[in-house]
Structure 1
Amino acid sequence: MLPLLRTTLAAALVLGGPARAGAHELWLTLSTIDSVPQVRVNYGHASKRRAPSLPKLIELVALTQDGANGLRAGLKPAPPDVPPALLAPLGTKPGRTLVAATYDSGYWSTLRDGTTVNSSRRLVAEARESRWSVKYAKAAFGPGAPWLRVVGHTLEIVPVEVPGPTAGAIRVRVLFRGAPLPGADLYYGDSGMEPERAGLPAYATDQDGIATVPIRKAGSQVLTVSQTVSPSATPTLADEDVYTATFAFRLDEPSVN
């Protein structure tokens, strides 16, 4: 039986809405602590963040035009007086750096009463539904970063062009398993920190997997895409596999829109 694919692409000023109610996202931002640029690995929702699990963060790498540098070994929990996250010294000039991360969220099962547990069907065979979840994140920290680089994530958002400081939109291509993904539902939201989709206009990726995302405010931007594959590659453990990917960047000048 051929797998069933379901796709949602969300774009918001801070964080796009999750593909599943209660789902959590992974996104990358830049912080400066004691004058040292730090990659911040965020998890949860923009309005309700949680500390990501270090063992589940499989890879964190900084990419420049000159090469790649692994950052995972330098990760530490964020200080208690700031929102929960993992932090790692960047070690490169932020304006020239693209950072990429892979996070294995593991198996999740929903019981008959609606309770969600971090387990596969192997231990909760009576579950109403079960899924395996993996999350990918990328962030371009400046105009000199390799924005257009394909890093090879199973699900990936790749800009088609680098937006200028007054850009009113960004064009991106969505890749799944290395191929353009057409027909993705695209959302743009300007509701601040709230990752809700209600009432947002819908867009769609074209046959080449390209979508145009409007940018209506300056500041932090995060694009989010989700892809669900059913049946799962491990059908005895889960019903479906859920992939999510984010791409973060900043535009600090007022847009033209």
Structure 2
Amino acid sequence: MLPLLRTALAAALVLGAVRPGSAHELWLTLSTADQAPQVRVNYGHASKRQAPRAPQLIQLVALTQDGGSTDLRGSLKPAPPDVPPALLAPLGTKPGRTLVAATYDAGFWTILRDGTRLHASRRLVPEAREGRWSVKYAKAAFGPGAPWLRVVGHTLEIVPVEVPGPTAGAIRVRVLFRGAPLPGADLYYGESGMEPERAGVPAYTTDPEGIATVPIRKAGSQVLTVSQTVSPSATPTLADEDIYTATFAFRLDEPSVN
């Protein structure tokens, strides 16, 4: 029997809304606090961030239009204690021409009958009510000269169909799962300050080509998020289902036309 696929696609601003009941996300932003551009690897929720663990970040690479590729993992360091937790890495390239991609293994999780969550697989907790394995993918285009349209090969990936202009009122994206377009995904847009659990968020759906249009109502940092659940898990003795999430971050500094 074919695995059951459950999809939810959410779009929101950084510090904005996320899909109700969603798991922790991984997203990338640009930091210039020390004047030298740095990639900021964020984890958790915008309202409750956690520091990602460097050993679980199995990819952090900077890509440029000319085909350049730089592995950034060797220069990772924790963010200073006076700012939200994150990992930082010097970018080493011109931000306006760089796309950064990351992969983070969030590992195995089990949920006991009483709702307690344990960072362990079913192998150690066979009596658990649920068992999950989770992996996070993230991409960020830091300027108009970045290779926005490049497919980097993540299992779950958001790829813009075009590069939005500074006054764009929307962005068209294609969602790929295992390299193929993912149709029927519900798309959500949230504005900065919206509570994650707020009901009544308008939904948009990817078409048969896996394409959806996300409105951009405010200037500033944007993050698109997609999740995909596959059941049964590829490792059924360790988990019941596999959960993939992916983000695509970018910034528009001019007011939108909407």
* Superposition TM-score, scaled by structure 2 size: 0.97
The whole-number CA distance in structure 2 between the counterparts of 1:234 and 1:138 is 27
Quick one: which amino acid aligns to residue 10 of structure 1? A
8 Å contact from structure 1 (residues 63, 146) kept in 2: yes
8 Å contact from structure 2 (residues 19, 188) kept in 1: no
8 Å contact from structure 1 (residues 45, 195) kept in 2: no
Gap change, CA 1:37 and 1:191, over 3 Å in 2: closer
Residue 245 of structure 1: aligned partner: 246
Cα offset for 1:22? 5.8
Residue 234 of structure 2: aligned partner: 233
Q: How does 1:106-121 map to 2 (within 5 A)?
A: 106-121=107-122
Q: How does 1:24-173 map to 2 (within 5 A)?
A: 24-66=24-66, 67-173=68-174
8 Å contact from structure 1 (residues 46, 194) kept in 2: no
Cα offset for 1:34? 2.3
Cα offset for 1:196? 3.3
Cα offset for 1:158? 0.1
Cα offset for 1:213? 0.1
Cα offset for 1:191? 4.2
Higher mean C-alpha displacement, 48-57 vs 21-30: 21-30
Residue 182 of structure 1: aligned partner: 183
Cα offset for 1:65? 1.2
8 Å contact from structure 1 (residues 28, 137) kept in 2: yes
8 Å contact from structure 2 (residues 205, 212) kept in 1: yes
Flag structure 2 segments of 5+ consecutive residues without an equivalent. none
Gap change, CA 1:55 and 1:18, over 3 Å in 2: farther
User: 3-state DSSP class of the match of 1:36?
Assistant: coil
Cα offset for 1:216? 0.2
User: 3-state DSSP class of the match of 1:73?
Assistant: helix
Residue 11 of structure 1: aligned partner: 11
8 Å contact from structure 2 (residues 17, 192) kept in 1: no
Quick one: which amino acid aligns to residue 192 of structure 1? G
Gap change, CA 1:104 and 1:238, over 3 Å in 2: same
Cα offset for 1:189? 1.0
Gap change, CA 1:131 and 1:83, over 3 Å in 2: same
- Fraction of identical pairs, as percent: 86
Quick one: which amino acid aligns to residue 250 of structure 2? F
Gap change, CA 1:101 and 1:204, over 3 Å in 2: same
Gap change, CA 1:140 and 1:26, over 3 Å in 2: same
The whole-number CA distance in structure 2 between the counterparts of 1:181 and 1:16 is 23
The whole-number CA distance in structure 2 between the counterparts of 1:234 and 1:18 is 27
* Superposition TM-score, scaled by structure 1 size: 0.97
User: 3-state DSSP class of the match of 1:174?
Assistant: strand
Count of residues in correspondence between the two structures: 256
The whole-number CA distance in structure 2 between the counterparts of 1:84 and 1:198 is 29
Cα offset for 1:253? 0.4
Quick one: which amino acid aligns to residue 172 of structure 2? R
Quick one: which amino acid aligns to residue 94 of structure 1? P
The whole-number CA distance in structure 2 between the counterparts of 1:22 and 1:221 is 18
Question: What is the Cα-based RMSD across aligned positions, in Å?
Answer: 1.2
Show CA shifts across 1:50-94 (max 9, x none): 000111100100000121100010100000000000000000000
8 Å contact from structure 1 (residues 47, 195) kept in 2: no
8 Å contact from structure 2 (residues 17, 193) kept in 1: no
Cα offset for 1:228? 0.2
